[in-house]
Amino acid sequence: MSAVAQTESALPMRRRSVTRRKAVDLLIKVLSWIGAWFGIAVMAFIVWEVVVRGAAALNWDFFTKSTPQDFTASAGAGMANAIVGTLVITGFAAAIGIPIGFLAGVYLAEFGRNGRLATSVRMIANVVMGVPSIIVGVFAFAIMVRPVGHYSGIAGAVALAFIMLPVMARTTEDILNLVPNELRESALAMGVPRWKVTLGVICKAARGGLITGATLAIVRVAGETAPLLFTALSSPYWLTGLFGPGGFFGGPTANLTKTIYDFAGSPYPYLQELAWGGALVIIIAVLGMNVLVRLVFQRGKKW
Amino acid sequence: MVGTKVEEPTQMTSEATVVPPRLEVAEDRRGGDEDFDSLPSQISVRGLDFFYGKEQALFSNDIEIKQNRVTAVIGPSGCGKSTHIRTYNRIFNLYRDQRAKGEIMMDGENILSSQTDLLDLRRRVGMIFQKPSPFPMTVFDNVAYGLRQHYKLSRSELSDRVEHALKRSAIWDEVKNKLSEPGNALSGGQQQRLCIARAIAAEPEVLLMDEPCSAIDPVATAKIEELVLDLKSRYTIVLVTHNMQQAARVSDYTAFFFQGYIVEFGPTTQIFSNPAQKQTEEYITGRFG
């Protein structure tokens, strides 16, 4: 081995141009700088436009009164019923999707690992994450709306939960995989059963990341419209409770995104104004949750 | 652990010319003077083979770990030291493709048997790892973790036991005012002693230490070595180390591992002053490894 290395190193070597490499370096730097600022500029433009147009619509009525039943109205209505509806639908979706997704993620990271079942679950989760949300809406329509013969808020929540599920499972898995193996081994070496180690040590060590993951999964679906088109539909009324025609399980449920979709496409300026207001509320909520999560995660890191 | 092949030592003898001075073995090591066979064994290993998937990492290991003695396990990287002691508490069972064959007798039972209760085995055999790994909880809860798992204790009994374990681990004075602070707010050396406290709190019989000092500074290392000498009156200690001075300083018996075989095992005084095997001599004099 040493003989070969010696003959090679004895040959004279031609130097490569430094100028060229420096030029390429600069080019890449400039291109990535442009790319970064382009992204920020688009984002800033959207937020600016929504803030300017939406702020005018936000007033006391907006947060306390329901959407107008008379489309030609020009004042005295709000989006309160849609805001409540979105909160309830998203809440139910989180209550279904997060625990199941979390447990699936725990299975993938701690128990299944590279087993056959875990490998197929992981692959399916990756595929489902890429399924267009309108397809999920149609799926929820088929299992939740067709059989009972009417739209309902819960059907929307199930559709959203279905979108959250793989996101939550994969995030949980990724975060648990970041926990160093030494921690797992040293907790098991104490003679503590696996489930206790997983919940009491591993998940506790990863809890900042898990909370972030769950919140991002909620944020991910909070702004979805397509899955609600065939499920929760929309309604100009307040939720009257859980059951009955006006209830969450019994009939169409008002929600922000579908209402924005309807009002933005309408020819009435007042409705369009309400739609801008709704868009602003969603953007603030989503950005706010993102920021909140980052704060929580920073605090969680200490452990 | 596997795969790192060390060059055959026989090929290296002709090249090495300078022989470094032999390591000093402390006077009070008992290994040399006592009658090995009459001492009670804590663990008797016979014909232990170990596999990572299809690759065999340990080959028919035989060794007697004596009660209340420190047994050092030395050898070059990848020789199977850690793999060997990781069979004593069956922590390798965490990984599906790892498998051990043979006999590891402890209290009259073969712990490799499928009947062995792993939770109870691990209560009896505590382990300290290379990297200090405090659990994500307070200093107090770290030490109480194993206690709560294995014993029913009243609140005052629990805190007495925690205090006692921290005192035995020579860390009480440093943490007595920090009991409700997170365990990983401590320094590296303190964290490792916290891990020792955590392991001894549950009253194990054996303490496995897998290179416990390799991630901490010399001052903390000295403290832990002192601790090892102190703890052996109560526990049987198996210490894997890369540091031969450490093996010479704290152990009564030493096993030299090479490529998955136990090449030599005997009193530390003998291994370091008059090894029977050529490979052992070359390793301890620093000609390879």
Same domain, A50 and A186: no
Whether A187 and A254 share a structural domain: yes
Minimal Cβ distance to A302: which of B118, B119, B182: B182
Residue B81, Cα to own-chain centre: how many angstroms? 9
Tell me whether residue A193 is in a domain: yes
Contact assignment for B129 to A185 by CB distance below 8 Å: yes
**CATH T-level assignment (fold) for domain B42-284:** Rossmann fold (3.40.50)
Q: How far apart are CA B90 and CA B73, in angstroms?
A: 18
Q: How far apart are CA A142 and CA B36, in angstroms?
A: 77
Within a domain: residue A280? Answer: yes
Beta bridge partners of B72: B239, B254
pLDDT tens digit sequence for A164-182: 999 999 999 999 999 999 9
Residue that has been written with the tokens 């925690």 in this structure: B162
- Give the phi and the psi of residue A139 in degrees, each rounded to 5: -60, -45
pLDDT at A2: 47
* pLDDT at position A257: 94
Using DSSP, how many helices (H) and how many strands (E) does chain A show? 14, 0
Q: What is the mean pLDDT of residues A53-69?
A: 91
In a domain, A31, yes or no: yes
Write down which residue in A27, A55, A83 finishes a domain: A55
Last residue of a domain, one of A10, A32, A55: A55
Chain A residues within an 8 Å CB radius of B123: 190-191
Q: Residue B161 and residue A3: Cα distance in Å, rounded? A: 65
Whether residues A70 and A31 share a domain: the answer is no
What part of B 67-106 touches A (C-beta under 8 Å)?
89, 91, 94, 96
- Kindly state whether B131 is in contact with chain A, defined as any CB-CB distance less than 8 angstroms: yes
| A&B contacts, CB < 8 Å | 71
Tens-digit pLDDT profile for residues A127-138? 999 999 999 999
> Among all chains, which residue has been given the structure tokens 């006391």?
A60
Contact B193, B171 (CB under 8 A): yes
Beta carbons within 10 angstroms of residue A250's beta carbon:
20
Interface test mutation site (partner B, options A186, A204, A299, max chain B beta carbons within 10 A): A186
**Closest Cα to residue B75, out of B94, B90, B61?**
B61
- Residues A287, A185: Cα–Cα separation, whole Å: 39
Tell me, what's the pLDDT at B23? 57
The β-bridge partners of B50 are B58, B100
**One domain for residues A36 and A103:** no
CB contact under 8 A, B135 and A183: yes
CA-closest candidate to residue A206, choices A166, A181, A182, A172: A172
Q: Would you say residue A13 lies in a domain?
A: no
Dmax over CA atoms of chain B, in Å, equals: 66
Q: Is residue A230 part of a domain?
A: yes
Burial class (CB in 10 A: 0-12, 13-18, 19+), A88: buried
Please tell me the distance from the alpha carbon of residue A72 to that of residue A61, in angstroms, as a whole number.
17
A128 to chain B, minimum CA–CA distance in Å?
Answer: 29
The answer to whether residues A210 and A149 touch, using CB atoms and an 8 Å cutoff, is no
Question: What average pLDDT does this structure show over A234-247?
Answer: 85
Asked whether residue A259 is assigned to any structural domain, the reply reads yes
Asked if the model's pLDDT at residue A85 lies above 50, the reply is: yes
Query: Residue type at B94?
Result: L
Question: From the list A114, A183, A302, which residue is nearest B133 (CB)?
Answer: A183
Q: Can you tell me whether residue B266 is helix, strand or coil?
A: strand
Long-range contacts of A261-268 (CB under 8 A, 24+ apart): A261/A225, A262/A234, A263/A67, A266/A71, A268/A71, A268/A72
Q: Which of B121, B126, B136 shows the shortest C-beta gap to A201?
A: B136
Pair (A189, A147) in one structural domain: yes
Taken in order B37, B40, B42, B45, is the CA torsion positive or negative? positive
CB contact under 8 A, A204 and B96: no
Q: Are B209 and B125 in contact (CB under 8 A)?
A: no
User: Do A144 and A239 fall within a single domain?
Assistant: yes
Residue B71, CA distances (Å) to A201, B104, B194, B199, B279 in order: 31, 16, 22, 18, 19
A288: tokens are 């706010």
- The reply to whether A159 falls in a domain is yes
Nearest-CA neighbor of A109 among A230, A232, A194, A221?
A194
Which residues of A are less than 8 Å from B119 in CB distance? Answer: 191-193
Q: pLDDT tens digits, residue range A13-44?
A: 888 888 999 999 999 999 999 999 999 999 99
Q: What is the pLDDT of residue A237?
A: 87
pLDDT along chain B (289 residues), means of 10: 43 43 54 76 95 95 95 94 96 93 94 94 94 94 93 92 92 93 91 94 93 88 91 94 91 95 93 90 81
Least confident of A131-135, A186-190, A225-229, A232-236: A232-236
Q: How far is B126 from chain A (nearest CA, A)?
A: 6
- The whole-angstrom separation of Cα A4 and Cα B127 is 48
Number of domains in chain A: 2
pLDDT of residue B27: 52
Comparing A7 with A51, which gets the higher pLDDT? A51
Residues A44 and A181 in one domain: no
Q: Considering the domain boundaries, does residue A69 fall inside one?
A: yes
Question: What is the share, in percent, of chain A residues with pLDDT greater than 70?
Answer: 94
Paired strand residues for B262: B257
Using CB atoms, pick whichever of A182, A187, A193 lies closest to residue B131.
Answer: A182
Strand order in the sheet with B41-52: B55-66, B41-52, B98-106, B109-110
Instruction: Quickly list H helices, chain B.
Output: 81-85, 118-124, 139-150, 155-168, 172-175, 188-201, 218-231, 244-250, 268-273, 278-284
A185 and A43, same domain (yes or no): no
Are both A124 and A213 inside the same structural domain? yes
Mean of pLDDT values over A199-204: 94
A191:B145 CB<8 A? no
Tokens 């009670």 -> residue: B40
Q: Judge contact between B107 and B42, C-beta under 8 A.
A: no
How far apart CA B119 and CA A182 sit, in angstroms, is 18
- Average pLDDT value for chain A: 90
C-alpha span between B51 and B86 (Å, rounded):
12
Chain A residue with CA closest to B91: the answer is A189
Residues A230 and A110 in one domain: yes
- The residues near B177 (Cβ < 8 Å, ≥ 6 apart) are none
Question: DSSP character for B11?
Answer: G
CATH of the domain at A250: 1.10.3720.10
Residues A174 and A209 in one domain: yes
pLDDT of residue B24: 59
Q: Are B205 and B194 in contact (CB under 8 A)?
A: no
Tell me which residue range forms the domain holding A87. 60-300
B195, closest residue in chain A (CA to CA): A186
With beta carbons under 8 A apart, name residues in chain A contacting B131: 180, 182
